[in-house]
Chain A
Amino acid sequence: MPQRRDLIASAIVVLLLALLPLAGSRYAIDLTTEVMIYALFALSLNVLIGFTGNISFGHAAYFAIGGYACAILLTTYGWPLALALPAAVVLAGLVAAVVGYFCVRLTQIYFAMLTLAFAMLVWGVAFKWKEVTGGDDGFTGIKMPEIIAHHVGYFYFTLVVVAAGIAALWVICHSAFGLTLVAIRENSVRAGFIGVDTRHMRWAAFTVAGTFGGLAGALFGMYHRGMYIENAFWTESANVLIMVLLGGIYSFIGPIIGAAVLHLLQTFTNQYTPYWPTVLGLILLVIVMVLPDGLIGLVRRVRARGGRP
């Protein structure tokens, strides 16, 4: 069960976010909406990376499938949101289950390569299936339900969905299933010895990650009123991976912090210089060279040095 302290802290964060539109800044509302979506995206990936110890380099695929499916069902087929959103999430989860079936046969670097390859296949389909996805031009002009068409309405919608998604992921990660995943990460051979079907569990983790990645993608597509093939490209997979690492993989809230820091940094950097890739490259070098456990790890180390618990 969650600690009382954590529950209260989460409630305060949600409450503060709910009050944000009162400040009246459109810019702040939009930026926060984006950060919330990326936070969910990054958290979903961390089920695989931080908890199971499997590096997926193709997580953008499920994000894109969720986003494209929701957009197409809403617009081309005129489905109501209450059907389109769950359908898109289920589809992302199904594709993740199929891809995962093949990927979990491999481990380590081979696993990463295969996830990347499947993701590029998804990208290729989004690129070439022009009649359905809009191809190179992207899928634009998503029909939005009245109630969330306004940016404040969409902000609250995102807040509710992301909060529910994060709560669900928290429960999954701290359940017996989640602990089994940690056992696989720590020592998959020993986990096998005590009777864990490691391949099965990794497959389940893969599917969970893809499902929630699809949810984030659906929110992203509706927020931008469109999906573009860049959202399925491997650089997007790398981006979310960097968010997860920047925050710290061995902590539940690490990816949320990583997503917030990286996205805000990108937004501000882009106002001053076109050279965001350089900044991102330097951030990555710092992570790789001196900060492998991310910002959360840094905070923990500083605390430990200060003698506090």
Chain B
Amino acid sequence: MTLTMFTLNAFYGLALAMNMFIIASGLNLIFGVLRVINFAHGMFYMFGAYIVFTVAKTWGAPFFVGVLAAGAALAVIAFAIERLLLRHLYDKEHLMQLLFTFAIVLLMSDAAKMIWGTDQYSVGYPPGLGGAVNLGFVMLPQYQLFLCVVGPLIAVAMWFVVDRTRWGRVVRAATQDREMLAALGVNVPMVYAAVFTIGSALAGVGGALAAPRIALVPGMDATIINECFIIVIIGGLGNMWGSFLGALAFGFVVQFGTVLAPNWQDVLPYLLMLAVLIIRPWGLLGRPETGH
């Protein structure tokens, strides 16, 4: 592999990783606070991608208006789901919450079929980001470069909000002791609703940002949710920087796997995950579960 090829692949791997991080960090945030594994996260991602298609391509609005619309639409959908249904399930078993989110997957997949049909769509690169940057020995596509900037920005923003603000302290407290937090006068149900809304909006934005890279087909939700699971398991459930690390590992393994072992690139991430789990069952940055 020449230096050019290596740089290009590493770069594509990084761009993929950053796109995946945006999506997986939302899943991870929701799990960290609500302890709910949200199977519908992949569906939110798919809706984000489809919405950007409708807004930017069918209606002709600018691409980034579409991205904002996707984030906003998913926030509204997620808020409604949390307030109307999910909040009744926090006291029930994990299994019931898991199945609830699967019910949402089933209902939304049919809704997507009714709204967008089963055709394949594509969204072009937004104007101004369709070119490439010449580094002399390699040409790097601008859109992927843009993803490499946005991903870390979101990571830093999340870190700042969760670790450095009062609201973030409340969120972290909610993961520790709900009852105590409520006793201190914090409206815990609204914290939960906000976290679910923000996490889901990240899926929508992640899907919208992925749209120019990929083909939009029914079933794309099922692939992405598994990839997100891999990432958050590798990194450690509930740990934001763990997801970042997991996304990086995933992106590089997939990209270099595509080049070096073209038949097996889909299996490699699972092998990576199993290797991590055998050595560290709680993920790279996760903590051993405590007995509750």
Contact = CB atoms under 8 A, between A and B. Distances in A.
Given A57-B98, A124-B270, A284 B103 contact: yes
B289 interface: yes
Contacts of B110: 275, 277-278, 281
B96 A120 contact: no
Interface residues of A, number: 42
A292 interface: yes
A266 B93 CA distance: 27
Interface string A97-135: 000001001111110111011101100110110000000
A242 B277 contact: no
Contact of B94 (A108, A118, A242, A280): A108
Interface in A21-55: 49, 55
B164 interface: no
Given A112-B98, A117-B274, A288 B89 contact: yes
A188 to B, nearest CB: 10
A82 to B, nearest CB: 33
A270 to B, nearest CB: 13
A159 interface: no
Interface in B151-196: none
User: SS class of chain B's interface: helix, strand, loop or mixed?
Assistant: helix
Interface string A51-78: 0000101000000000000000000000
A285 B96 CA distance: 9
A81 to B, nearest CB: 31
A110 B237 contact: yes
A245 interface: yes
Contacts, number: 108
B271 interface: yes
Given A102-B278, A110-B237, A292-B92, A284 B100 contact: yes
B72 interface: no
B95 interface: yes
Contacts of A106: 281, 289
B85 interface: yes
A234 B42 CA distance: 13
Nearest to B31: A109
Given A288-B100, A289-B88, 16 more contacts: A108-B289, A112-B94, A116-B226, A117-B233, A117-B270, A117-B277, A120-B226, A121-B274, A127-B266, A128-B264, A233-B222, A277-B110, A282-B103, A284-B106, A285-B100, A288-B92
Interface of A: 49, 55, 57, 102, 105-110, 112-114, 116-118, 120-121, 124-125, 127-128, 189, 233-235, 238, 241-242, 245, 275, 277-278, 280-282, 284-285, 287-289, 292
16 contacts: A105-B281, A107-B289, A108-B94, A109-B94, A109-B98, A112-B37, A112-B94, A113-B229, A117-B277, A121-B270, A245-B95, A277-B109, A278-B107, A282-B107, A284-B102, A287-B99
- The 5 residue pairs across chains A and B that have the minimum distance between CB atoms: A281-B106, A284-B103, A281-B107, A124-B267, A121-B270
Interface of B: 35, 37, 85, 88-89, 92-96, 98-100, 102-107, 109-110, 222, 226, 229-230, 233, 237, 263-264, 266-267, 270-271, 273-274, 277-278, 281-282, 289, 291
